[in-house]
A and B are shown apart, each in its own frame.
Chain A
Amino acid sequence: MTYGTEHVSVRFGNVQALDQVTVSTDAGTVTAVVGGDGAGKSTLLRTVVGRIAPAGGRVLAPPEQQIGYQPSVGGTWADLTVAQNLEFVGGTYGLQGSRLARRSEELIERAGLTAARDRLARDLSGGMRTKLGFCLAMVHEPTLLVLDEPSTGVDPVSRVELWRLLSEVAAAGTAVLLSTTYLDEAERASRVVVLKDGRTLLSGSPDEVIASSPGVVVRTDTAIRQGFAWRHADGFREWWPQVPDGQQPVQVDLEDVAIIASLIQHRSIE
């Protein structure tokens, strides 16, 4: 099954929050929506899960009971323990008795939260709370899992753990749609959509997006093209429409490609 949006637009008053955005994720794959603060990531995910009605376009989603959603803030109950959180949220999806207990224990174990099962959610570290949020979104075995910035503020070890959990549910056939501000993370997804100001800047598989980037990038110690250079590791990277004489282009990554797209967009607006 394929889920997502087709040319979806969302307006809040005078603000065009999303302008004809298309995103899709298939059963068994992970799609990453990338962008900074205010790019429209949360709006897009909330539209997919049915919390925002679009002004135009189409939403492809399973029935609500088959969607798991973890918002960017909250999503866990601070005054309940880990086990109680699962019991409570599982109950709202109609799970009960031994079936709910089995499912809760399975998720707690898989997320590495066994030692914390009786701790209040408010006392968990950020990484643990993120994993609990993930468990809550997964408790009813949804066919579509939507996670809003699950790794923001989460340390690298917990991020690897989170990706392990994500990989597992994707491998088991769930369609996953998540947002992130980090492109190194998006490179692990099957598909990427980069948003800026509510519009699609780039989209495709990470390899496709990188291959479709116009021009070339060279590494330099001193940037000479104002407005088309940015810091990278121990020097600058600089974008050129064609390979400049005597220079060797470097392999770009998704982060470079997103920066190039932003720079070109800036120029075309000015």
Chain B
Amino acid sequence: MTGPLIEAAGLTKRFGSALAVGDVSFAVHAGEVVGLLGANGAGKTTTIRMLLGLLAPTSGQARLLGGSPSQDNRALLGYVPQNLGLYHDLTAAENAAFSAAAYDTRPASLTGALAEVGDRLVRALPLGLQRQLAFVCALQHAPRALVLDEPTSGVEPLARAHLWDTIREQADDGVGVLVTTHYMQEARQCDRLLLMSRGRIVGEGSESDIVGDTRVVAVRSGSWQQAFDVLHGADLPVTLAGTTVRVVDADHDEVARMLADSGVQATVEPVPASIDERMVVLARS
């Protein structure tokens, strides 16, 4: 099959008068990792639930492997939900066996650190191992598409790099991957990004496509606390990176003038914005 593995076509979901997802269209093809970004409440999880066939759209269409989401094509999909979806009162090996049976396949043998804890209850495993196990359960039936909802939340850097090895290997083998994340290091591992805000797709492409023309001014000052107070007091969206004060979506000259008027000595310069900062702009607009 050459068409998209996962596809949203004008997907819309209303809950009463509230628009949760509005006219969302995108596709995930074989071999690519697509990152779905957005603040809480942006509509990411509702979109995923419609794509999986767990929630009926108000209008528009969800397609999995070319057809409507159903038991049959869901069997060709691997899904790691945010809460991992493991059975806490079963052992690691029993979880793998149960999930294999549900997909009518043979359980994968547990390897590495998981091999040593196969007979332990999942509830007794550290979160990092639980995540590895959730990946095993999602992958052992050799799915053609993967949906991962915040797959590495709470994992230390090396373990996170290893989980991303697994994700990229899957993509190299031709699996299409849709992954949600809140973390920009992870967003950079994706081939393509989608940014959602208030139910709609508001940005698509690379990191710089997403950031667009969002402007950030960096303020460096020996009296950075005072600089912070002045700018925050003026109701500007201010953040701190170390002792550098960052002002999102602000005018360079205006910031410089405010600081000068308050007698704060500082260097003020425009710097590239991050995706996080783009989201702050969207949330304020």
Interface residues of A in 142-159 (CB under 8 A from B): 149, 152-159
Q: Could you tell me if A160 and B188 are in contact, using CB atoms closer than 8 angstroms? A: no
**How many whole Å from B285's CB to the nearest CB in chain A?**
12
A213-242 residues with Cβ-Cβ distance < 8 A to B are: 230-234
A-B contact count (CB 8 A): 123
Q: A64 near B: Cβ within 8 Å?
A: no
Whether the Cβ atoms of A206 and B242 lie closer than 8 Å is: yes
CA distance A170 to B41 in the complex (A): 29
Are A159 and B40 interface neighbours, CB within 8 A? no
A175 within 8 A of B: no
A residues in contact with B241, CB < 8 Å: 187-188
Query: Closest CB of chain A to B38's CB: distance in Å?
Result: 8
- Residues of chain A in range 15-62 having any CB-CB distance to chain B below 8 Å: 28, 35-39
A2 within 8 A of B: no
Known contacts A36-B154, A167-B228, A188-B240; A231 and B164 CB within 8 A of each other = yes
Q: Give every chain B residue within 8 A of A167 (Cβ-Cβ).
A: 228, 238-240
A118-158 vs B: 1/0 string, CB under 8 Å? 00000001110000000000000000000001001111111
Docked-complex contact A171 and B189, CB < 8 angstroms: no
B228 touching A171, Cβ below 8 Å:
yes
Tell me the chain B residues, 30-77 only, with Cβ under 8 Å from chain A: 38-42
Question: Quick check: B158 and A262 within 8 Å, CB to CB?
Answer: yes
Shortest Cβ distance from B213 into chain A, in angstroms? 19
Known A38-B128, A126-B40, A155-B40; judge A160-B239 contact (CB<8 A): yes
The CB with the most chain B CB atoms within 10 A, among A37, A125, A156, is that of A156
Distance to closest chain B CB from A203 (angstroms): 16
A35 and B182 within 8 A (CB): no
User: Which residues of the other chain, A, contact B240 by a CB distance below 8 angstroms?
Assistant: 163, 166-167, 188
Beta-carbon contact of B157 and A258 below 8 Å: yes
A182–B275 Cα distance when bound, in Å, is 16
Q: Given A163-B239, A184-B183, A258-B157, verify A156-B39 contact (CB < 8 Å).
A: yes
Contact A190 B238 (CB under 8 A): no
Contact of B127 among A37, A125, A154 (CB under 8 A): A37
- For A166, give the chain B residue with the smallest CB separation: B240
A103 at the interface (CB under 8 A from B): no
A170 surroundings in chain B (CB, below 8 A): 225
B16: chain A residues at CB < 8 Å are none
Among B127, B155, B157, B275, which residue has its beta carbon within 8 angstroms of that of A262? B157
The answer, among B153, B183, B238, B276, for a CB contact under 8 Å with A164, is: B238
B159 and A36 within 8 A (CB): yes
Residues of B within 8 A of A230 (CB): 158, 161, 165
Contact B154 A152 (CB under 8 A): yes
Q: Considering the complex, give the chain B residue whose CB is closest to the CB of A36.
A: B156
Determine if B243 is an interface residue (Cβ-Cβ < 8 Å): yes
**B280 contacts partner chain A, Cβ-Cβ < 8 Å:** yes
B232: Cβ under 8 A from any A Cβ = yes
Q: Are A259 and B232 in contact (CB under 8 A)?
A: no
Is the pair A181, B154 in contact by a Cβ cutoff of 8 Å?
yes
Give the interface size class of chain A: 35 or more
Q: How many positions in chain B have a CB within 8 Å of any CB in the partner chain?
A: 43
**What is the 8 Å Cβ interface bit string for chain A, positions 231-270, against chain B (1 contact, 0 not)?**
1111000000000000000000001001100110000000
Residue in contact with A38 in the complex, picked from B38, B126, B161, CB distance below 8 Å: B126
Rounded to whole angstroms, the CA-CA distance of A73 and B155 in the bound complex is 17
Q: B247 CB to closest chain A CB, in angstroms?
A: 11
CA distance A259 to B161 in the complex (A): 8
Q: Are A190 and B276 in contact (CB under 8 A)?
A: no
Q: Which residues of B have CB within 8 Å of A188?
A: 239-242
Contacts of A259 in B (CB 8 A): 157-158, 161
- Please report the C-alpha to C-alpha distance between residue A28 and residue B226 in the assembled complex, in whole angstroms: 12
Chain B contacts of A125 at CB under 8 A?
40-41
Q: A157 vs B195: C-alpha distance in the bound complex, in angstroms?
A: 13
A117 within 8 A of B: no
Of all chain B residues, the one with the shortest Cβ separation from A168 is B232
Centre residue among B38, B40, B241 by max chain A CB count within 10 A: B40
- Distance (Å) between the CB of A21 and the closest chain B CB? 16
CA distance A112 to B238 in the complex (A): 14
B271: interface (CB < 8 Å): no
Instruction: Assess whether A160 is in contact with B156, with CB atoms less than 8 Å apart.
Output: no
Report B-chain residues with C-beta under 8 Å of the C-beta of A154.
40, 182
| Interchain residue pairs with CB less than 8 A apart (16) | A36-B154, A36-B157, A37-B127, A37-B128, A153-B153, A156-B39, A157-B279, A159-B276, A160-B276, A160-B280, A163-B240, A167-B238, A171-B225, A188-B241, A206-B242, A233-B188
Given contacts A166-B240, A189-B242, 9 further A-B contacts (CB under 8 A): A155-B182, A167-B238, A170-B225, A171-B225, A181-B153, A230-B158, A259-B157, A259-B161, A262-B156
10 nearest CB pairs, A to B? A36-B156, A37-B127, A171-B225, A230-B161, A155-B40, A262-B158, A156-B276, A233-B188, A157-B39, A167-B240
